[in-house]
Structure 1
Amino acid sequence: MIKVAPSILSADYVNLQKDIEKVDQAGAEYLHIDVMDGTFVPNISYGPGFVKAIRPITKMTLDVHLMVEHPEHLLPLFIDAGADVIGVQVEATQHIHRALQIIKNGGAKAEVVINPGTPVAMIEPVLHMVDQVLVMTVNPGFGGQKFLPETVDKIAQLNAIKQKKGYDFDIEVDGGVNDKTVIDCYKAGATVAVAGSFVFDAADPAAQVKALKNATK
């Protein structure tokens, strides 16, 4: 059964604590927080203060995805804010190894992220040091996009490397995930599913979390 990471990019900002409590009580393991700088992606979202404000209201794993240029400059701030997992886009830094080291040295779990157009080979040199790999299944920056089926092959490639080398990282997918698309991702080796609009645009977010889990039993 897949672990579920509701993305608060699609939550109700005015009633954010209520939305977080709904998915927490439904059994979601992670809370996915997309940090966007308006440069690496066109959109702008939250900063470390937002993560710090959420930390006291939930025991869910705070899964912070940095879609920002030069992420290494911001990593200490998000570590101090209480992020449990911090994801860095391989395309956003010339120093991916150093960025992952900073995260791990700060006591958080390190995640490397690849866009749909980025091959798995780009991150193979750092797979030995990560706790999680995030495969973007849409182009990053906006919620509500349609799942890109060609990204399933990348999940399978990552899983094959993981098995062959004896690595222990989680494989997370993000973008267009629903109770149908999650099945192929899970079969290919995904262990964590980010879902935004599928969960929070529904009348009953808790039921949507359970639907993702039931689809991957």
Structure 2
Amino acid sequence: MSLPAMQITPSVLNANFAELGAEIARIPSADMVHVDVMDGHFVPNLTIGLPVVESIRKATDKLLDIHLMIEDPDRWAPDYAAAGADSVTFHVEAARAPIRLARELRKLGARASMALKPATPIDGFADMLTEVDMVLLMTVEPGFGGQSFLDLVLPKIRRTRELVRRTGAQILVQVDGGVSVDTIGRAAEAGADVFVAGSAVYRADDPDAMVNELRDAAVKGCQH
């Protein structure tokens, strides 16, 4: 499946959890559907788990981008890949053996992605970039939707893009947190090419129109 250069992956964190199938159907232009799994330990919030992801998988054929904000991803992440997730993201702050975990996810047929909190530097993980398909840089503190975009992460986005470029590999750079029409251009200009947007999409009058508006704004941003 060929994906556009700038990908919009709406988060269902801000959708109606009682109607997730219908909510996903409202964003046909989305490149992936971003699902936040929080355990109340690694982050203070508690959301959904494996059974709900399995139900979402049955309800849509869109690519599922699972973001695990949980303790012990080494134990749980492979189960999400086995459940049909197309991409599984684990936090390097929580993983005990991130390279082994990334390889296991790929072996199960999912894209492997590592996530970093705003204060976690990318340089310590430069050597393992080629073990993953995507790097997720949090642009808010993980755990809750609706937070404001942290511009202090922009230099890290630029640094990550530079390190990715040096590998010569096709590795996506995703940002998550406070992404809106007002902020997406700055993130794209810094080097991001995949954007998680939750409240911006699901609080819009027309969520799918917002998906396309965000993509257009990202394209304009990376042209500057």
Tell me, yes or no, whether TM beats 0.5.
yes
> Of 150, 153, 161, which residue of structure 2 is paired with 1:151?
153
Unaligned runs of 5+ in 1: none
- Shift of residue 166 of structure 1? 0.6
Q: TM-score, normalised by structure 2?
A: 0.92
Runs of 4+ in 1 over 6 A off after TM superposition: none
- Select which of 50, 53, 58 maps to 2:55: 53
Cα displacement (A) at 1:56? 2.5
Match of 1:8 in 2: 12
Which residues in structure 2 correspond to 1:91-102 (within 5 Å)?
91-102=93-104
1:124-157 C-alpha deviation (Å, 9 max, x unpaired): 1210111000000000000000000011111111
> Are 1:82 and 2:84 an aligned pair?
yes
Match of 2:21 among 17, 20, 43: 17
Q: Provide structure 2 residue ranges, at least 5 long, that are not aligned to the other structure.
A: 220-224
User: What is aligned with 1:166?
Assistant: 168
Give the secondary-structure state (helix, strand or coil) at the position aligned to 2:114.
Answer: strand
> How many aligned residue pairs are there?
215
CA distance in 2, matches of 1:128, 1:77: 23
Say which is worse superposed, 11-20 or 170-179, in terms of deviation.
11-20
Contact kept, 8 Å, 1:132 with 1:172, in 2: the verdict is: yes
2:212 match: secondary structure: helix
Q: 1:105 Cα deviation (Å)?
A: 1.5
Aligned residue in 2 for 1:204: 206
TM-score, normalised on structure 1? 0.95
User: Superposition RMSD on alpha carbons, in Å?
Assistant: 1.1
Instruction: Report the counterpart of residue 222 of structure 2 in structure 1.
Output: none
1:180 offset after TM fit, Å?
1.6
